[in-house]
Structure 1
Amino acid sequence: MASIAARPNIGTPTMQNTKAVRYYEYGDPSVMKLEEVPRPRPKPGEVLVRVRATGVHPMDWKTRAGYLKDFMPVELPHVPGWEFAGSVEEVGEAVSGFKPGDTVFGRGSGTYAEYAVAPAATLAHKPDALSFEQAAPLGLTGVTAWQAVEAAELQPGQRVLVQGGAGGVGSLVVQLARQRHAHVIATTSPENVDYVRALGADEVLDYIAAPFEKRVAGLDAVIDTVGGDVLERSWGVLKTGGVLITIAAMPDQAIAEAHGVRVRGLAQLESTTRILEQLGDLAASGAINVPVAATFPLHKVAEAHAASQTGHGRGRRVLIIEF
C-alpha cells in the first residue's frame, strides 16, 4: 500500500503548528491524511507530550471504519490514537510530578501526532531500560491486560484459558497470569504456537487443529480477547462458579447465569499511573516482554492499519514519530 501524502495546511504555518494524522469521514485506511494542525495546549491537570511512538490499537481502525460510531462516536475530523510514549514538552496548571524533558508513557487521545495531550493521571515516567516503542503499547494495551488479569482474581495453580494468546493484549495476559503462578492455557494460530509457548504458556492450543472446547473443560477462568463465536463457545469450558473476562464484547450476565458462571468487564479508570509504574518496572526488569509486531513511520499509517486489520501478528504494531 502506498504511503499517504501530506495534506497542505489551509492558512499560514506558524511555530505553533504541528503534524498529525486526521480523517474527515469514516472509511478504509485511505481516509487518513497527514496534515498540519494547531499544536494542542494542555489544560489544567494535563501534560503536553512530544510523541515518539504510539500503538496501533484495534479500536483505532474499528473507529475509523465506522464500526463503533453508534455507541462511541467521534467528532470529525478526528486524530486517532490512545497509547503513546514520548517526552514532556509542557505541563498544565495543577500538575505535579512531571516537568519538561521527562520521558513518559501512558494513555492520551489523538496520539497519531507529533504532539498530544494527556491527563497527568494516565501517565508514568518511562524507565530508561525501555525504548519508546516498547513503552507505548503499555499505555492502553498493557493496562487492559493488567485489568483483565486482576478481574479474574487468579490464584496460584488455577487454570485460565487466554483466547488469542499472540495478540497485543493476549501476549501480555499470558505473561501477567504466569506472574501470578496460574496454569496458563492459550489459543493461537499454528504459526504462533512456539511464540506463545515462549511467552510462558503452560499449554498452547492450535485453534486450527481442533476446537478448544474439545480439549479443555472445568477451567477456573477464561480471559477473552477475541469475541464473537470464540466468546460464545467459551462459556461451556468453565467450571461452575468460574469467571469469564472479556475485552471484546459487553459482559452478558444472563448468559453467565444460564451457565452457572460469572462474567466481568473492565472498569474505566480515572487514574492508571500505579498500574503503568508496575508494568514499566516488570518490562524494564525483563520479567515481561512487550511484543512489538512491527513498526511504521507516521506517514505509513495506512499500512499500519491494514496490517492491524488482518488480526494476525505477534503483539502490537507501533507508529514511530520522527522529528
Structure 2
Amino acid sequence: MRAVRYHEYGGVDTLVVEEAPEPSPGPGEIRVRVAAAGVNPIDWKVRSGALRGLLPVELPAIPGRDAVGVVDRIGAGVRGVGPGERVFGLGGVTGATAELAVFSAWARVPKVWTDEEAAGAGLASVTALGGLNALGPLEGRTLLVEGAAGGVGGAAVEIARALGATVIGTASERNHGFLASLGAVPTTYGPGLAERVAALAPEGVDVALDTAASGSLADLVAIVGGPDRVSTVADHAGARRLGVRVADAENDSALLARAGELGRRGLYTPRVERAYPLERVGWAHARSESGRVRGKVVVLVRAGRAPSPTGL
C-alpha cells in the first residue's frame, strides 16, 4: 500500500510517500480503505521527536491518528459493522495517513459530511466532548472556550451550542467572523480577558474549557470562580498546579457516535481549513505546525481524489 512514512525523527522533510506493509486488524479492530486522514498537533509533535520520552514509536512510522474510509476487513469479535460501510475513527498514535489503516474506535459517517469533514472529526470531536463532559450539564449555562478557532475549540463551540450553552470564544481578531459563524460570541485572548468577558457576560460565566495551553488557566479559574469549573485538554502542567480538571482524548466509539449523531442533525460540521493531496503531506504538517489553523487540516489519501472546492 502507499503510505506516508518517516524513517527518523525530524522536520517535515523526513516525510516520504512510499510503499509500506499492509496492517491487519486485531481483535476488536477494523481495517479501512482510507479516503482522507486528519493532521493533528500530536502527529508532528511525535514526528519531531519532542515526545519520544512519553510516546516512543517504532520507525519507520506512519503519521496520523484519525481518518475516514470504507471498512475493508474486521477483526475477531467485531459486531455491528461490516465491509463496505463508511466510517470515521481513531487508531493508534500513528498509522492513519495511508491507503489502509486500522481503527480501534469508529462510527458511521453522517451522509451530510464530506470525506474531508469526516477526516477532521475523529480526534477533535472526542477531545472536545471529553473536555465538555468534565464540566457537567451545559444547558442554560455560559461557557468560555479558550482557543475556539482551532480544530478542538471549534468542535467544542458547536457541540456546546447544540447542548444548550451560550458560548464565548477566544481567538485572534481575524477569526472573529469564523467564531460567530459557529454560534460563539467572539473576543480576543490575552491580557484583559476578564474585563472583556465581563462586558460580554454581565451575569458571569459558569464554566470554561481550555483547548490552547496558552498559559491562561489561572485567568480562566478567576473568571469562573474556581478550578472545579474549568477543564483543559492541553495544559496538563497548569492543571496539576491549579487543580483544574484534565480531559485526555480517548478512543471511544460512543463519543464518535455522539458526534456523528450531532452531524446527522445538522448541529455539528467539522470545519476544514485546507485539504492537501497525499504528495503534499509536508505542506499539511507545516500548516498545522504554524499554530494558525482555522479548524482542521486534512490529507487526501484515496488515489485520484481531488480536493473539495473549499480545499487549497
Normalization by structure 1: what TM-score?
A: 0.86
Tell me, yes or no, if structure 1 residue 275 matches structure 2 residue 261: no
The structure that has the greater radius of gyration is 1
Q: C-alpha distance in 1, partners of 2:192/2:4?
A: 41
Deviation at 1:254, TM superposition (A): 5.6
Distance 1:233 1:240, change over 3 A: closer
Q: Report sequence identity in percent.
A: 38
Q: Could you tell which deviates more after superposition, 145-154 or 164-173? A: 145-154
In structure 1, the residue matched to 2:189 is 207
In structure 1, the residue matched to 2:281 is 301
Give the letter aligned to residue 24 of structure 1: H
Deviation per CA, 1:100-126, whole angstroms, max 9, x where unpaired? Answer: 11111111130010101122xx11122
- SS in structure 2 of the partner of residue 113 of structure 1: coil
Deviation per CA, 1:141-185, whole angstroms, max 9, x where unpaired? Answer: 111111111111143332221011110000011111112222211
Kept in 2, the 8 Å contact 1:154–1:182? The answer is: no
How many residue pairs get aligned? The number is 296
2:88 maps to which of 105, 108, 126: 105
In structure 2, the residue matched to 1:180 is 163
Where does the alignment leave 5 or more consecutive residues of structure 1 unmatched? 1-17, 258-262
Give the letter aligned to residue 303 of structure 1: W
Kept in 2, the 8 Å contact 1:251–1:265? The answer is: no
Q: C-alpha distance in 1, partners of 2:74/2:139?
A: 42
2:231 maps to which of 240, 245, 256: 245
- SS in structure 2 of the partner of residue 223 of structure 1: strand
Q: C-alpha distance in 2, partners of 1:241/1:44?
A: 40
Q: C-alpha distance in 2, partners of 1:281/1:106?
A: 14
In structure 1, the residue matched to 2:29 is 46
In structure 2, the residue matched to 1:286 is 266
- SS in structure 1 of the partner of residue 159 of structure 2: helix
Q: C-alpha distance in 2, partners of 1:192/1:105?
A: 27
State the Cα RMSD in Å: 1.9
Where does the alignment leave 5 or more consecutive residues of structure 2 unmatched? 199-203, 304-312
Kept in 1, the 8 Å contact 2:210–2:233? The answer is: yes
Larger strand fraction of residues: 1
In structure 1, the residue matched to 2:58 is 75
Kept in 1, the 8 Å contact 2:228–2:245? The answer is: no
Q: C-alpha distance in 2, partners of 1:244/1:215?
A: 18
Kept in 2, the 8 Å contact 1:219–1:242? The answer is: no
Give the letter aligned to residue 213 of structure 1: A
1:114 maps to which of 99, 115, 128: 99
In structure 2, the residue matched to 1:260 is none
Kept in 2, the 8 Å contact 1:190–1:207? The answer is: no
